[in-house]
Amino acid sequence: MSGKPIPLQPAYVLHQRPWGDSSVIAELFTPEQGRLGVLAKGAKRARSPWRGQLQPFRPLLVAWRGRGELKTLTTAEPQGQALALPAGRLASGFYLNELLMRLLTREDAQYTLFGCYDATLRALASDRDEALEASLRRFERDMLSALGYGLILDHEVIDGRPLSAARRYHYLIERGPVAAEADLAAEGIPLLGASLLALQQGEFTTADQRREAKRLMRAVLAHYLGPRPLASRALLAGPPAPVVATEKITTD
């Protein structure tokens, strides 16, 4: 009924939700099929070999059968060592997963993007704090280009002149950078040529470049994500600073 068995494929779990008493529906990310919904029968049973395996940020090898929208998971085993994401970086990981859940259509091959995702998760597990932001920006940049929304980061969109690091530009969403003096510029996101070039390189040298690249990415992603905000951003921001506790210190 299910055709030929599919050889094991690398995969990450993006999200999972309970299904019935003992099963889960997992949303997988695979290179060959992109985002893929699978039913993992009995995954929550005490003796299930999948118990504890179908977690985000864990490299897996999986196989499934079925032809419908929702496949049935037949095999899932860990591939190599689990990535040890420090607890403080989990929110960044959720951010990547939320982007992929929101922007990827199901069953659309994503070889390059899978590689980027894998590399970014490994960077989250091992990067120093200063390098973290650049890793996230590179992922956003590469994800947009894999989805066909790639940014133009090296030339002006109107006359094709190469960008100059010292000049100011306005980035028009879905078009590209224009010189700050151009007629269209008013609607765009203002930033320095150096920030666009740094984003293209994926390496930032100043705090200004980091800030401008982040603001550009936020605006571009907001355009494709629509009005519903990303829930993982609230987590990334961390808990609000304690107001009462500081008062306590001063009054004590």
Partner 1 sequence: MEFSPLIARLMEDLRCLPGIGPKSAQRMAFHLLEHDREGALRLAASLAEAVEKVGRCTRCRNLSENEVCPLCANPTRDAGLLCVVESPADVRAIEQSSAYRGLYFVLMGHLSPLDGIGPAEIGLDRLQARLDEANLREVILATNPTVEGEATAHYIHEMVLARGIASSRIAHGVPLGGELEYVDGGTLSHAFAGRRSL
- Per CB under 8 A, the list member of 1, 46, 87, 166 interacting with partner 1 is 87
For partner 1, give the closer residue by CB, 121 or 196.
121
How far out from the chain centre does Cα 48 lie?
30
Residues 129, 210 contacting (CB under 8 angstroms): no
How far out from the chain centre does Cα 181 lie?
34
Site for partner 1 in 20-59 (CB under 8 A): 21, 52-53, 55-58
Residue 190 burial by Cβ neighbours in a 10 Å radius (0-12, 13-18, 19+)? middle
Residue 119 is encoded by which pair of tokens?
């590399």
Site for partner 1 in 90-129 (CB under 8 A): 90-91, 93-95, 97-98, 101
Q: How many residues bind partner 1 (CB under 8 A)?
A: 36
Q: Which stretch binds partner 1 (CB under 8 A): 40-48, 165-173, 217-225, 237-245?
A: 237-245
Q: Which stretch binds partner 1 (CB under 8 A): 111-119, 141-149, 215-223, 227-235?
A: 227-235
Residues 90, 7 contacting (CB under 8 angstroms): no
| 146 vs 136: CA distance, rounded Å | 15
Picking from 51, 68, 127, 62, the residue whose alpha carbon sits closest to that of residue 92 is 127
For partner 1, give the closer residue by CB, 106 or 175.
106
The residues of the shown chain that bind partner 1, judged by CB under 8 A, are 14-15, 17, 21, 52-53, 55-58, 78, 81-82, 84, 87-88, 90-91, 93-95, 97-98, 101, 230-232, 234-235, 238-239, 241-242, 244-245, 248
